[in-house]
A = this chain, B = another copy of it.
Amino acid sequence: MTDTASRLDQILTKLRALDCRITPQRLAVLRILLESPGHPTMEEIYAQVRRDFPTVSLATIYKTATLLKGLGEVLEVGMRHGSSRYDAHKPYPHPHVICTHCKAILDFEELPLAELTQAIAEKTGFEIRDHQLEFFGLCPACREGGSPT
């Protein structure tokens, strides 16, 4: 079984366990999230799902993504400007490197933020539940040709 297939299976099992219906639309959203190598936006997912379900609405995409996010199966990557991106491959906080020109997003390997989180919790008294770390800049391609932003 491929990674994608087993991940899909894992999520479907979780949905069933929670008495959530596996509708064709939800399945389509899930598939696209898992088949996208990158970090699609809602609009991109919407466009893809519409190829199979021309009448699907954007609200359904949002609802499904919110559901999956709530289950911890999808990570929302909040862009500072523009739409959020979604990642079903690594649904836990991890660093990103983002091109501000072409909007490309790269995952970056795990950093030892767990211990840092712990240190911050102790120092501030906060109960830390989440974090986000993003580096912004220009990707190699945009450094060359593009008009830098």
A34 at interface by CB-CB < 8 Å: no
**A127: B residues at CB distance < 8 A:** 137-138, 143
A14 at interface by CB-CB < 8 Å: no
Distance from A127 Cβ to chain B, minimum over Cβ atoms (Å) = 5
**A136: B residues at CB distance < 8 A:** 128-132
Binary B-proximity of A99-139 (CB < 8 A = 1, otherwise 0): 11000001010010000110011001111111111111111
A140 at interface by CB-CB < 8 Å: yes
Whose C-beta in chain B lies nearest to the C-beta of A137? B128
Determine if A134 and B131 form an interchain contact, defined as CB atoms under 8 angstroms apart: yes
Q: How far apart sit A76 and B79, CA to CA, in the bound complex (Å)?
A: 13
A58 at interface by CB-CB < 8 Å: no
**A80: B residues at CB distance < 8 A:** 76, 78, 84, 132
Whose C-beta in chain B lies nearest to the C-beta of A126? B137
A97 at interface by CB-CB < 8 Å: yes
Binary B-proximity of A64-103 (CB < 8 A = 1, otherwise 0): 0000000000001010100010000000000001011000
Q: How far apart sit A136 and B137, CA to CA, in the bound complex (Å)?
A: 24
Q: How far apart sit A135 and B129, CA to CA, in the bound complex (Å)?
A: 8
Binding site for B on A (CB under 8 A): 76, 78, 80, 84, 97, 99-100, 106, 108, 111, 116-117, 120-121, 124-140, 143
Q: A78-B78, A128-B137, A130-B137 are in contact. List 12 more A-B contacts (CB 8 A).
A: A80-B84, A97-B124, A108-B120, A121-B137, A128-B136, A129-B136, A129-B137, A130-B135, A131-B134, A132-B132, A132-B134, A133-B134
